[in-house]
Amino acid sequence: MEKGLFEVLTEICNEKGISQEVLIDALEAALVAAYKKNFYSAQNVEVSIDRESGTVKVFAKKEVVDLVYDEFEEISLEDARAINGNYQIGDMVNIEVTPKDFGRISAMTAKQVVTQRIREAERGIIYSEYTEKTNDIVSGTIERIEKGNVFIDIGKIEAMLPEKEQPIGETYEVGQVLKCYVSEVKSGTKGTQIIVSRTHPGLVKKLFEAEVPEIAEGIVEIKNIAREGGSRTKIAVYSNDPNVDAQGACIGPKGIRVQNIGEELKNEKIDIVKWSEDPAEFIAASLSPAKVISAEINEEEKSAHVVVPEYQLSLAIGRAGQNVRLAARLTGWKIDISAED
């Protein structure tokens, strides 16, 4: 291999963060295959690349025997001792068999191996980078829409928003900028695949963390989220500071914070619920915007019977039972609702 080419390989290793030793090992293995393909396939050979000069040499490995039956695999004791007088029966002898034009093959093979290794290294870097973004938000531009799946340019790679991860009623256009929740990062033969979601409760959580400083600072905690993407979300919050109102912090001055999040979620309704250690109090709050008269708790069955004013019964249950269904998921309690007698 030309020294200039070897220096280029070294520069590429440094630039791409590829181990030079790993690259050379891979190149040596590839050159063994290239030698056997172009010269003597039956020979047991190894290739050695000098780490300083880049010089490539091919050695045939032969066992020292009394009587040679296979000249590709064996060498007589007499011939072996002509090379080095210390050889004994059973020793392995390395005999240089580098072809004259092997430098050309070495250069071609080197380019192929380097290209492959760079591709693998870049895939590894992208996989590692986006694995760290799992359960976080990424922003990108819609590139194309195929068979209901939306493909988004998020920088170094394309993310896929599957149809099942799209909120009901949400529409998309090529060129549209979109924020999504990274739900899964896969590594396969075709590289790294990023699966994102617009329905995951984690999207709401991350949007609130970005919008509400008190959450980012740990003053306000998000205790739980129940969501039906594109329709309604209930989020339970709690303040660690008695002087800070958790719900007020999330709503923001003149409602600007929750309004910004709602706009990002295409006007999805968001109920901000005050979390409480008292199950009855928490369950009553979870049924917002309905007003609860009483909540009777059954600890053993982890169920609650809630009474609301008759005129608010349909509000408490919600359209198709959505309000009570989300409240049950938010609190972890089974909720039965009846109207006041």
- Is residue 134 included in any domain, yes or no? no
Q: Is the preceding omega at residue 201 within 30 degrees of 0, hence cis? A: no
Q: Are residues 20 and 114 in the same domain?
A: yes
Q: Are residues 28 and 117 in the same domain?
A: yes
Q: Are residues 48 and 117 in the same domain?
A: yes
Which residues span the domain enclosing 189?
139-197
Specify the CATH number for the domain of residue 271: 3.30.300.20
Q: Are residues 55 and 113 in the same domain?
A: yes
Q: Are residues 143 and 245 in the same domain?
A: no
* Closest C-alpha to 251, from 261, 239, 266: 261
- Is residue 233 included in any domain, yes or no? yes
Q: Please give the tally of structural domains in the chain.
A: 4
| Interacting residues of 210 by C-beta distance below 8 A, sequence separation 6+ | 137, 216
Instruction: Please report, in tens digits, the pLDDT of each residue of the chain (341 residues total).
Output: 555 666 777 777 777 777 778 778 888 888 888 888 888 766 788 888 887 777 888 898 999 999 999 888 899 999 999 999 999 999 999 998 888 878 777 777 777 777 777 777 777 777 888 888 899 999 999 999 999 999 999 988 899 999 999 998 899 999 999 999 999 998 877 778 899 999 999 999 999 999 999 999 999 999 999 999 999 999 999 999 999 999 999 999 999 999 999 999 999 999 999 999 999 999 999 999 999 999 999 999 999 999 999 999 999 999 999 999 999 999 999 999 999 87
Whether the pTM exceeds 0.75: the reply is no
Pairing of strands 191-197, 158-161: parallel
What three-state secondary structure class fits 99?
A: coil
Q: Are residues 58 and 69 in the same domain?
A: yes
Q: Are residues 223 and 164 in the same domain?
A: no
Type of residue at 52: E
- Is residue 131 included in any domain, yes or no? no
Distance CA 172, CA 176 (A): 7
Specify the CATH number for the domain of residue 84: 3.30.1480.10
Q: Of 197, 222, 247, at which residue does a domain stop?
A: 197
Site of tokens 């799946």: 149
Q: Are residues 31 and 87 in the same domain?
A: yes
